[in-house]
Copies of this chain bind each other. A is one copy, B any other.
Amino acid sequence: MKISTKGRYALRLMLDLATYNTGEPVSIKDISKRQDISEKYLEQIIAILNKAGFVRSIRGAQGGYMLKKAPSEYTVGMILRQTEGDLAPVSCVGADSEECERRSQCVTVRIYEQLNNAINGVVDHITLADMMEWQAEKVEQYVI
């Protein structure tokens, strides 16, 4: 029941892009330094986000990445699902649920449905914009 580094890094990566959104592309190297995550691993993760259409890539020197849409348009759920796959706690519930021959007699599935709803309820209503606000609040704490 753990979220892997891939998903966690993807969140930090997207938040980094949202934070350093100046109009200039942000390079993997810069993100790597700020977030202290291997460049090569970040490349792999951002490739997923790129294919999903979440970021725009600019190749060549002075290249990098930018968010395609506003931070408020990206939920945590969207990002985690791309990198982690379906967030349902078992394969027999959720969006791409698989068949199970025990289904008709199975009562535990009700637990998993409730869990699935609870998880989605959290991740589908937090956006990158929310996370940016949290960051701003953190800074205030130090300033005051």
User: Which of chain B's residues has its CB closest to A121's CB?
Assistant: B118
Query: Nearest Cβ distance between residue A133 and chain B, in whole angstroms?
Result: 9
Oligomer: number of copies: 2
A5, closest chain B residue (CB)? B90
Shortest Cβ distance from A12 into chain B, in angstroms? Answer: 6
Q: A3 to B90, Cβ gap below 8 A?
A: yes
Chain B positions within 8 Å of A91 at CB level = 2
**Interface size of A in residues (CB-CB distance below 8 Å):** 34
Q: Which residues of A contact B (CB under 8 A)?
A: 1-3, 8, 11-12, 15, 36, 76, 84, 87-91, 102, 105, 107-108, 110-112, 114-115, 118-119, 121-123, 126, 131, 134-135, 138
Verify A118–B107 contact, CB threshold 8 A. no
